[in-house]
Amino acid sequence: MLRDLNVCKSGHCSNLGEPGAPDYEYHIRPLGFLAMRCDKCAATPPMLDNESYLKIWHSWQQKVALYSGRCCPDCGSRHFKCFGRSAVQKPRRQCKACGRTFSVRDPVTQAQRNNVEHIMRLMKKAKPDDGDNILMYAAEKGVHFDRATAQIQRLSLQMLWQCPPAQRIASVSFIVPYRGENNALWCLISTNMDTGEVIHISTTLVELELSAEGRYQSCQDAPSTNWDHTTSAMRMAEDQEARFLARGQFDRCDFGLVKVAKKGTSHALPVLTAHAHFALLRYLGHGIGQDGEVGSHCLQHEVFLRGACITQYAHCVKRDNMALLYVVGETKSQCTHHSTRKLGWWQNLWHSVTDTQGNQKAYSVLCGNNRLDAEQISLSTCFAAIRYIEDQIACHHLGEFTPTRVNHLMALIAQNFNQDLRFED
């Protein structure tokens, strides 16, 4: 597992993902923000707070370990021996690397089972009842509602992580509201492009005390764009590239105010959330080419998503075993090539295609051996899941909840989406 994020993030450099390379120069400010430099390729990525990232990653690792049994909750090793049983008759495991003894836990306790089941029933309703809805139930149960939703999150994540490894992944960020004026959670969702299922969802809210360097704060961002249905996909890509340069820092975006009253809880920087998100996907085996196939990862056009993904999948990229692509716009049928241009600071090569209905899409192969046709390059599975999540949040008025409650329920909504998808099939 990569423990140092301050590495080269250039897809064509031999130092990609290599910590502590002799070609690195740290703590420089060539563009006004703290950065590092790789002398081999001249890349100057912003420096990141490793301490905060490791806290976030370790929190995810513990969840994977204790609720799936895939690894050691302390060191992450997958090598352990089984012996005996715990007091509640769970198989006991001991890590061969660090000696930690642990048992896989039930995500839902007996004390909260009734609350958990009732909340899950309420969230499955297409239209909440006036006399029986989740807001009223939360007001009635108070702290027991919070405990139940925390356990629902663990159960839902456990089910999401049971999805078989996906070779083709799409990832998109979005924001959801919570109680208070202009408060929002930044979210990152990844889907299996072949099945449409959500394989993981993250938010910036973490139940950890992060340092100031790792916490999100409202910051200087580029002015919003004025796109409409007539704006071409290539123009959207060009405008977004310009927005990256107008930011105070490449990997900083502004998604509004965030207020967290709960002690021991922080909003992480989206770039750190993205690194932990992609690290977990790789750890679960998603996006890695197998049996001679090449993995593919289609990304929303966001510069720090590219940096996070290529860093966490550096080993696959170097082996030419994964293609990484930006995608802007959506097409729905057979595509024909429209134009090709180099765009932005990084001069990535972009291709524009048009379908038979006149819909446009632009994409850029950032690295790797792309084997996808233009029709296959898409973020549509992510957008379908996001529409479902946003509809559920609006339907159940979840924007009136605290950020912790919204965060706990996000994984449940994603799992409900997967269940509905399977039911349709």
Q: Characterize the bridge pairing of strands 266-267 and 205-206.
A: antiparallel
Q: What is the pLDDT of residue 91?
A: 85
Three-class secondary structure of residue 190 per DSSP: strand
Residue located via tokens 């990832």: 171
> Domain containing 383: what range?
109-424
| One domain for residues 18 and 156 | no
Cβ neighbours of residue 319 under 8 Å, at least 6 residues apart? none
Order of strands across the sheet that contains 91-95: 80-85, 91-95, 101-103
* CA-closest candidate to residue 274, choices 197, 333, 200: 200
At residue 358, the pLDDT reads 92
Please indicate, yes or no, whether residues 191 and 266 belong to a single structural domain of this protein.
Answer: yes
Q: Is residue 56 part of a domain?
A: no
Q: Specify whether 82 is located in the same domain as 117.
A: no
* Maximal CA-CA distance, the chain: 66
Q: What is the pLDDT of residue 292?
A: 64
Mark whether 267 and 346 lie in a shared domain.
Answer: yes
| Cα–Cα distance for residue pair 340/349, rounded to 1 Å | 7
Whole-angstrom Cα distance, residue 8 to residue 11?
Answer: 9
Please give, one letter per residue, the 3-state secondary structure of 334-382: CEEEEEEEEECCCCEEEEEEEECCCCEEEEEEEECCCCCCCCCCCCHHH
Residue by residue, DSSP assigns 230-292 as TS-HHHHHHHHHHHHHHSSSTT-----B----STT-EEBPHHHHHHHHHHHHHHTTTT---TT
Q: Is residue 65 part of a domain?
A: no
Angle between the N-to-C axes of helices 113-124 and 143-160, in degrees from 0 to 180, rounded to the nearest 10? 70
Residues 255 and 368 in one domain: yes
58 domain-assigned: no
Question: Same domain for 306 and 225?
Answer: yes
> How much is the pLDDT for 90?
83
d(CA 363, CA 296): 13
For residue 200, is it within any domain?
yes
Q: Are 27 and 170 within one domain? A: no
Q: Are 414 and 160 in contact (CB under 8 A)?
A: yes
- The answer to whether the CB of 236 falls within 8 A of the CB of 225 is yes
SS3 label, residue 400: helix
Q: Are strands 80-85 and 205-206 parallel, antiparallel or unpaired?
A: unpaired
* 73 occurs within a structural domain: no
**251 and 350 share one domain:** yes
Residue whose C-alpha is closest to residue 199's, from 385, 7, 346: 385
Is there a single domain that holds both residue 288 and residue 312? yes
The torsion angles phi and psi of 267, rounded to 5 degrees, stand at -95, 115
Domain boundary among 103, 119, 149: 103
Residues 6+ apart with CB under 8 A from 157: 63, 67, 411
Q: How many helices and strands (H and E) does the chain possess?
A: 10, 15
> Does residue 205 form part of some domain?
yes
Q: Mean pLDDT of successive 10-residue segments in the chain (425 residues)?
A: 93 95 96 94 96 97 90 91 82 92 91 96 84 91 96 96 95 95 94 98 96 89 81 95 89 86 90 98 89 86 97 93 95 93 93 95 93 93 98 95 96 97 81
37 and 89 together in one domain: no
Q: Residue 170: which H helix or E strand, with range?
A: strand 168-177
39 and 135 part of one domain: no
Number of structural domains the chain divides into = 3
Instruction: Tell me what pLDDT residue 336 has.
Output: 94
Are residues 169 and 184 both part of a single domain? yes
